[in-house]
Each structure stands twice: as structure tokens, then as C-alpha cells.
Amino acid sequence: MLKALRNIVTDDLADNPYLISIGERAKAIVLLFQERQLTTQETLHQLEELVRELRQAQQERAEKDMPGEAFARHPHWKISERHACEVQRELWRALIGAVPDEDIASLVDRVLKIIAGAER
């Protein structure tokens, strides 16, 4: 299960920023297990919960037509100002109405910084 989660996160990260937090949480669960702070059963339960969250997030993204593909459609967003503007525009469109207006700018900035850091 962990290997499948890891593969999904690493393969689809550029197109699906929400996978970053799921991947980080999976790593934290494994670390707690390795340090014997979680039992096998607790670890399995928490990983199963992550898989449920992943499936739910994928379903919601499909239903809401979230702009994960924005990064794929504009692959040079880190070096092209035009591509970066397009990605930002698509993220803004997806977030309007989903989060308070005053939070959109900071959320878009955070997503872009996280994705840029994850792709290094």
C-alpha cells in the first residue's frame, strides 16, 4: 500500500499539487512506525485512511474540474512569465468560491512555491 501511495504521489505530483500533503503524511506515518511509535495495525489503519482521502480528493477534483492539468498545459511555468500567469489564472478560477477571496492570493502563492520546491 505504501509503495502504491508513493508511486501515485511521485508520478502525478506535477499535475496534482494536493498530493504533496498526502505524500508528506504517508512519510510521517512510516517514520512513526519505524520509530515504534505506531503499531502495525495503527499504521495500516492510517495508511488506509490516506488512501480514502486520496480517492476522495481525486473524485472531487474530477467533479469540480480542478486545474491540475494547468501545470501540464503550461510545462514551462517556472521559466516563462506567460506560462506562470496562465497557471496562476487557472488556480484563481478554481479557488474562487471555494475559499474566502482574501485567502486566494496567498494560497496560490503557497501552491506554486510548494510545487516548485517539490520538482527540484
In whole angstroms, what is the distance from residue 67 CA to residue 87 CA?
8
pTM score of the predicted model = 0.51
pLDDT digits (tens, 9 = 90+) for 66-112: 556 676 677 777 788 888 888 888 888 888 877 788 888 888 888 78
Burial of 66 (0-12, 13-18, 19+ CB in 10 A): buried
The pLDDT of residue 41 is: 94
- H or E, element range at 23: helix 19-34
pLDDT digits (tens, 9 = 90+) for 36-63: 999 999 999 998 888 888 887 777 666 6
